[in-house]
């Protein structure tokens, strides 16, 4: 008997089966990868939240806030010799100067020994773990404890938006536990890996369509939702951005003077921290990239 060889038709059949299998497996693998990113991100926020509460317990119930009580929203000199030089404080009464969102979060590294990797979500494009040894600026501090921010471009080392901890509407431990205090990046503001998303004229908050509501989710997790850290210390994956106290939208500024807002208006860089409308407005923001120079002594 003659043994039949492997024909071209057989090869095409095998390739077709492999292509079909890959077509089925690839979306599943991609989905699992995204779920892994989401889980890692949630664990990071939970760890940050735990240390924020410890920090607040040591600081009169106040959450991490860099600079002075009257500092303007601006960049910090990360490799300065002392606190006043880092925040640009020149007054005898310890007022004024600059402070940033990332510098405020960096206090958890200085005082709570949180590792830099905890501030990076693997799904956040353009963001990498901060390594002091990779900084090229002179002088370069020998230890993380001698630094004041996440290097020369701190915006690329922190994946999370934070409730503005400055001026009138800073949160304390005495506030409502269901207030959002940190979450995945604000999609209406630029990031190292993505441009700011256009605020849609058709977005109607809770009254909008499912696609409209998902459009307003953070882009870090493909608009599926966002990991949100609440003041009480718990982390939830919120399927919609209006998830804070009184259904307040965590990525927009409330249109009202006395309550949360599921719609709101997109944030913009404001050096005077007048972003939050009132104490019930859980607006989470990150430092801008284009509003000031990257690294060194800067002004907004």
Domain ranges of the chain: 44-285
Q: Which residue has the tokens 């500024």?
A: 253
What is the predicted pLDDT for the residue at 295? 40
With cut-offs at 50, 70 and 90, classify the pLDDT of residue 15.
Answer: confident
Task: Look at residue 8 in the predicted model and tell me its pLDDT.
Answer: 73
Confidence of residue 291 (pLDDT cuts 50, 70, 90): low
Give helix then strand counts, H and E, for the chain.
4, 7
pLDDT digits (tens, 9 = 90+) for 57-111: 999 899 999 999 888 899 999 999 999 999 999 988 888 999 999 999 999 999 9
pLDDT of residue 300: 30
DSSP states of 130-168: --GGG---SS--SSGGG-SSSSS-GGGS--EEEE--SGG
The whole-angstrom separation of Cα 119 and Cα 102 is: 10
Taking residues 10-35, what's their average pLDDT? Answer: 73
For residue 283, pLDDT over 50 is answered with yes
**Over the chain, what is the mean pLDDT?**
88
Per-residue pLDDT tens over the stretch 102-157 = 999 999 999 999 999 999 999 999 999 999 999 999 999 999 999 999 999 999 99
Residue 4 has pLDDT above 80, yes or no: no
Q: Measured between alpha carbons, how far is residue 174 from residues 56, 213, 279 in Å?
A: 11, 31, 12
* Higher-confidence position of 32 and 181: 181
Spatial neighbors of 254 by CB under 8 A, at least 6 apart, are 248, 260, 261, 264, 276, 277, 278, 280, 281, 283
- On whether the pTM is more than 0.95, the answer is no
Cα–Cα distance measured from residue 47 to residue 60, given in angstroms and rounded to the nearest whole number:
21
Going from the C-alpha of 86 to that of each of 44, 99, 145, 246, 294, the distances in angstroms are 27, 9, 13, 38, 15
Residue 13 DSSP code: H
Q: Nearest-CA neighbor of 167 among 91, 51, 71, 270?
A: 71
Indicate the pLDDT class of residue 204, thresholds 50, 70 and 90. confident
- Please state the length of the chain: 300
Q: Which of 117, 125, 121, 119 is nearest to 226 (CA)?
A: 121
**3-class DSSP state for residue 110?**
helix
Please enumerate in sequence order all residues whose Cβ is within 8 A of that of 294, keeping only pairs 6 or more positions apart, or say none.
Answer: 152, 153
Q: Which one has a higher pLDDT value, 37 or 158?
A: 158
- Give residue 298's pLDDT: 33
128 burial via Cβ count (<10 Å: 0-12, 13-18, 19+):
middle
pLDDT band for 299, please (50, 70, 90 cuts). Answer: very low
């Amino acid at each position: 008997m003659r043994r039949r060889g492997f024909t071209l038709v057989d090869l095409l059949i095998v390739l077709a089966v492999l292509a079909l299998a890959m077509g089925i497996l690839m979306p599943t693998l991609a989905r699992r990868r995204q779920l892994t990113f989401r889980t890692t991100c949630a664990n990071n926020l939970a760890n940050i939240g735990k240390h924020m509460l410890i920090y607040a317990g040591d600081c009169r119930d106040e959450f991490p806030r860099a600079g002075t009580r009257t500092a303007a929203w601006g960049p910090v000199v990360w490799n300065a010799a002392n606190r006043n030089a880092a925040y640009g404080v020149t007054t005898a009464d310890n007022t004024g100067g600059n402070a940033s969102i990332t510098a405020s979060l960096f206090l958890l590294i200085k005082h709570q020994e949180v590792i830099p990797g905890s501030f990076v979500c693997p799904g956040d494009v353009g963001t990498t773990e901060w390594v002091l040894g990779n900084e090229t600026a002179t002088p370069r501090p020998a230890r993380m404890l001698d630094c004041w921010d996440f290097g020369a471009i701190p915006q690329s080392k922190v994946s999370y938006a934070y409730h503005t901890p400055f001026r009138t509407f800073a949160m304390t431990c005495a506030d409502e536990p269901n207030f959002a205090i940190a979450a995945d990046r604000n999609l209406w503001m630029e990031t190292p890996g993505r441009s700011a998303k256009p605020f849609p004229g058709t977005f109607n908050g809770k009254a909008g369509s499912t696609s409209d509501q998902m459009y307003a989710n953070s882009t870090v997790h493909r608009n599926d939702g966002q990991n949100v850290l609440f003041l009480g210390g718990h982390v939830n994956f919120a399927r919609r951005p209006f998830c804070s106290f009184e259904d307040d939208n965590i990525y927009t500024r409330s249109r009202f003077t006395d309550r949360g807002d599921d719609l709101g208006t997109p944030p913009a860089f404001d050096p005077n921290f007048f972003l939050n409308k009132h104490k019930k407005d859980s607006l989470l923001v990150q430092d801008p990239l284009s509003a000031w120079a990257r690294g060194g002594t800067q002004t907004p």
